[in-house]
Amino acid sequence: MNTERRKQSEIEALIDEALRADPDFSLSSSFTDKLLIKVHRHLAWKELFTEFALKIGLVAGTLIILAICLIFPAPKEGNPVILFLMNNIQIIVIISVLILFTYFIDQVLLRYFFRKKIVSQKT
């Protein structure tokens, strides 16, 4: 039991000595500014991607509900809407990718660069 107390007091003495000693290195004066810029940039990207994912999820959910409403009441010989979509799948995929790309540019990239411009003007 005495050895435990002695070890604990030695550890406390080492901790006190380490806390009182000056550090071997110093941070630059602009360290906090750089850190805050990086944190702000990271949080801005995270917020923009989260909003974009939420909007895409809402659109995808709506399209899934629409597809379910079109598929289940389909007649046995085939639904004309589904046949049209299956015959023109390449055009639909290309148009969807173009719309998604344009929407991504509009909702994420342009908003990020515009927000970055506003933040830099305030400082």
Digit-coded pLDDT (tens) for 112-123:
888 766 555 555
Q: Which residues of the chain have pLDDT under 50?
A: none
User: Which residues form the domain of 110?
Assistant: 2-122
Cα 97 off chain centre by: 20
Q: Give the C-alpha separation, 93 to 101, whole Å.
A: 12
> Rounded distance, CA 98 to CA 94, Å?
6
Q: What does the alpha-carbon distance between residue 34 and residue 3 come to, in Å, rounded to a whole number?
A: 47
Distances (CA, A) of 96 to 49, 51, 61, 65, 80: 19, 19, 15, 18, 21
Give me 122's structure tokens: 């305030």
What pLDDT, on the 0 to 100 scale, is given for residue 118? 57
The pTM (predicted TM-score) of the whole model is 0.62
Average model confidence (pLDDT) for the chain?
Answer: 85
- Judge whether 111 and 48 are in contact, CB under 8 Å: yes
Give how many domains the chain has, as a whole number: 1
Alpha helices in the chain (DSSP H): 2-20, 31-71, 80-87, 89-104, 110-122
